[in-house]
Structure 1
Amino acid sequence: MGNGIIIRITRVDKTLQTPMYFFLANFSFLEICYVSTTIPKMLMNLWTQQRNISLFECATQMCFFLIFGGTECLLLAVMAYDRYVAISNPLHYPLVMKRRVCIQLVTCSWITGIPVPIGQMYQTYSLPFCGSNQINLFFCGMPQVFTLACGDTFPNEMLVYIVVVLFVTVPFLLILGSYGKIISTILKLPSATSRAKAFSTCSSHLIVVTLFFGSGFTTYFQPKSKHSSERDRFLSLFYTILVPVFNPMIHTLRNKDVMVALKKLLPQCFVTLATNFNFLCLFSFNSGVL
């Protein structure tokens, strides 16, 4: 609901139809897709107490989870570049970040995040599986699936690290480079008010980056000897549920423009709901009379 509201207000409010909020709307849509790969199945298992998943469902879940996770890393890097251009080159910002360029950057983030996870998933499920078929996690994570394989998983694990470097480390380094330039530009601003205003436009994105990449690095780059089922479950809950829940709050509560747009939109939503409710009551009453 939080991400859906962000998408709605960026489409309705004309003051939010800028490159920054265009990327934010796409990020919110990506978050909806990201959580939809794991949470519905988890809720179903909790409700029915069956706690099982077919091999095809497990492969499909893993594939989409990797696609959306990789795309999110790339899109966060694109959003950091957008903030860098807006703060470091404000006069050239409308020329550099045209709508066509924004669409191309988002499209490239989606397209780049698709083929590699599909190949990685295919290679993973080509392994021979035997013995235990229990995953100590609420969704099909790749490290957990490797523990069920009978063959040598070292090549697959090395491929995971390579993919993580490409889709996590490289975007993270690009984000660090962008924020290094941003901070140096902010420190050169003459007044404290200008510095605070410039930093406030980046603070929400910076918090989201810290939460998402921090949990990702902790999960995939810690040594095998330090892995534990309890820690893996906690981290998986953190980056698949808690971070997506916090993201809409971070982007709305720390953004004055979004808060103003919300104050305009919410009364309209209540009026629409009340009108629809009255119409349904009137329709039901008339239907009963007839």
Structure 2
Amino acid sequence: MIEFREVSFWYAEEDQVFDNVREVLKDVNLTIKDGEFVVLLGRNGSGKSTLARHCNGLLIPKRGDVLVEGINTKDTELIWEVRQKVGLVFQNPDNQLIATTVEEDVAFGPENLGLPPHEIRKRVDEALEMVGMSDFKKREPHLLSGGQKQKVAIAGVLAMSPRYLVLDEATSMLDPEAREDLLNLLLKLKHSFTIFHITHYVEEAVEADRVLVMDEGTIVASGTPREVFAQIANLRKWGLEAPQITETALLIKQKVPRLFKKIPLKKEELVDELCSFV
């Protein structure tokens, strides 16, 4: 479990908040339970990436605490244990790919753990298999597509055997097809890992167990996808839109109130509801 307890953070050298220092995170309370697939939504500048970097101690709260399975990220002696438990995937995969071949890149983390060669090989093979990149192990990373690079970056994190996978806008630099492919991968991985997916694409939250919305450094909404996306007016106030299918359904419901016992999130749900009404 990852816990945020009254976490505040600002990018400044001062030890206390002055009037001219903007808090990027403001008294955030958040719990990510084992086995959950949680999606955090928010407009640019809302504090999402700052929150992501707190999950494994890349950033430390100015006030409050972040606990990973009970370990406080402020405990410098245990920070590497925290980072082995929480794998972080960034927006630009090129920032995480450093070796000359795919397999060497995925092996980098386990090698730094001092693992024996046979264990490193096992972890590399398993990680590449999980992300569907086994056939590319000898390929040079710079020759891969954006989506493939991101999969290799994820494999590099998985090879460290984390319990939690945190993705900070990992789909934002991908084309729609690659985004969908990566989201399908996350839906597969959620059966083995706790996933915290941070994005501004609302469609990527449809399959989540829980959806959070962040605005101006604060968690302003939390609930199931259906509960959160029903708040059309609030979503717009927070700089977001509901999925197009949901918006369409709500517009239809204004004309035909008897329609939609539950608000559709996917095309199949919209079609089924309409067909049952005819």
Q: TM-score range by the shorter chain?
A: under 0.3
Please identify which structure carries the higher strand content. 2
Q: Report the TM-score when normalising by structure 2.
A: 0.21
